[in-house]
Amino acid sequence: MHDLIIVGGGTAGSVLAGRLTASGRTSVALVEAGGAPDSMMVRMPAGMPKLFKSPLDWAFESEPHPGLDGRRVFIPRGKMLGGSSNMNAQVHQWCHPADFDGWAAHGARGWSWDDVAPVFRRMEALRGLASSSGRRGRTGPMRVEELRSPNPLTRAFVAAARAAGLGAPGAQTDDYNGGPYAGAWIAQVAQHRGRRFSVYDAYLKPALSRRNLEVVTGAHVTRVLVENGRAAGVVVRRGEGEHTLRAARGVVLAAGAYGTPQILQLSGIGPANVLRELGIDVVRDVRQIGANLQEHPLLPVMMRARRPLSLKKAESPLNLLAWLVAGRGMLASNVAEAVAFASSDGDAAPDVELCFVPVEWRGEGLEPPLVHGFGCGVVVVAPRSRGSVRLRSADPMAPPAIDLGLLSDLDGADLRALDCGVELFRRIVATDPLAREAEGEITPGADVRGVDAIRAHCASALQTIYHPTSTCRMGTDDAAPVTPELRLRGVDGLWVADASVMPTVPRGHPNAVVAMIADRAADLLAA
């Protein structure tokens, strides 16, 4: 019997397993449905889209979306040790101080910016950006570097965005991490010498040889075993059979914003009416398990390029050789090579991101580019819309029913932010030096203007940027499923430590935020 069982070996689970076993005093079993991240497309930064709908991807789809003419939205999620940190765009971001101060103000005590910034700092090992040495970490396990071979189109985008006035005059620095931000930058990435360096590499891989860590792969947790009000272990399906793993201290759920509420509901912890309809015995009626799903909606805006500079030719033998030998060239690209943040409503914190890609992004990344192009994902980073995650059936192997709820906010603020972002990107494209590289708009098309036209275009083109959060939010109010100490209310020995506990989705790319939550969870569990 182990002291603790961690369910899910993704970003949060990898950090937890590495941290909890470091002292040698705690025995841990890490249970993961996938396997090892054994693929060159994981190590190769530009290989990210090649992993979509592969055996290393859960490849979820949303429920038919009424606001998108009944279309389902593709939802890639990493099914492997390291999880989505092994198939994301590697953008390293602490996110905005207002995110965490907002969490604390709404009941997540101990999670303000002043509480979390030191954790981000101690976790990272930043290479470069000498001007940021006072506020950034240099000795942590998470390796971070500046993008090694930024595309010329990417450099032109950042220069044009700054020339167009993005960011306060005089306030633009070379670092968007460690404080408030508004402006444009080439991305900082979770890479080491041009190769992906995920939380698997940072935390789990060094721990695999420890005698107090058992990693169980290819194992689906079908439910948490609750006995006399306490989490005593988990029931695991591996191959054709099921067996029980028991824990002396308890269970930590780290299966993500989709997996954690699914497992809780399968365990009889969730909305009682939903559970009874599926014939599941109710252990605890918690209405908000699976509610409050938040995601960043993304609308692609693509331009034709005048010169053949884009990643369309990334897979050439010369580029492959450059990456294999030196970790440079187009295959070292994280695809999302630059980020820009702005406010559509004049607020001090941004609500719009322009995620720049030096390639024609087609079909949610599932289709290869047809022409040399570039563009951006216009992203609403402070969405007001909410969705949900519910069981589709009592079959634990069935994927959950995911209602993304995109653009469902009643006052239409999310749609207005999208429209603002589209026009902002068009203004940047019309500004030198990027204007010299553009040869017309591919999608949505120059005639698609205004909120009504953008909404109509969203029916066929809106996707997400794959940042689901908040389905088991933490707080001090009675409706919050999880306490600020990451305990699930009403069940002893059961903790949640992943993106599902975030009260709101952060303004940016939250992989480092998930790792920070897990790092703090390790301290809370050790105490």
Task: Report pTM.
Answer: 0.96
Indicate the SS3 state at residue 176.
coil
Catalytic residue among 2, 220, 467, 509: 467
The model's pLDDT over 225-279, given as tens digits with 9 standing for 90+, comes to: 999 999 999 999 998 889 999 999 999 999 999 999 999 999 999 999 999 999 9
Tokens of 221: 């947790």
What local confidence, expressed as pLDDT, does residue 133 receive? 59
Domain ranges of the chain: 148-186+297-382+407-461
Residue 96: active-site member? no
C-alpha to C-alpha distance for 111 and 444, rounded to whole angstroms = 40
Residue 348's nearest CA partner among 104, 56, 62, 98 is 98
The model's pLDDT over 94-139, given as tens digits with 9 standing for 90+, comes to: 999 999 999 999 999 999 999 999 999 999 999 988 666 578 999 9
Q: What is the pLDDT confidence band of residue 151, given thresholds at 50, 70 and 90?
A: very high
**Concatenated DSSP letters of 150-172:** --HHHHHHHHHHHHTT-S-TTT-
CATH architecture classification, 148-186+297-382+407-461: 2-Layer Sandwich (3.30)
C-alpha to C-alpha distance for 227 and 249, rounded to whole angstroms = 13
Question: Quick one: average pLDDT of 14-37?
Answer: 97
Q: Output Rg (C-alpha) for the chain, integer angstroms.
A: 22
The model's pLDDT over 414-446, given as tens digits with 9 standing for 90+, comes to: 999 999 999 999 999 999 999 999 999 999 999
Exposure b/e, 146-156, CB count within 10 A at least 16 = b: bbbbbbebbbb
Task: Report whether pLDDT(170) > 80.
Answer: no
C-alpha to C-alpha distance for 250 and 255, rounded to whole angstroms = 16
Q: Prior bond to 444 cis, omega within 30?
A: yes
Q: Work out the angle at residue 343's Cα, subtended by the Cα atoms of residues 338 and 345, and round it to the nearest 5 degrees.
A: 160
Q: What is the pLDDT confidence band of residue 171, given thresholds at 50, 70 and 90?
A: low
Tokens of 398: 């069935």
The set of residues, in sequence order, having a beta carbon less than 8 Å from that of 165 and lying 6+ positions away, is none
What local confidence, expressed as pLDDT, does residue 239 receive? 82
What local confidence, expressed as pLDDT, does residue 132 receive? 63
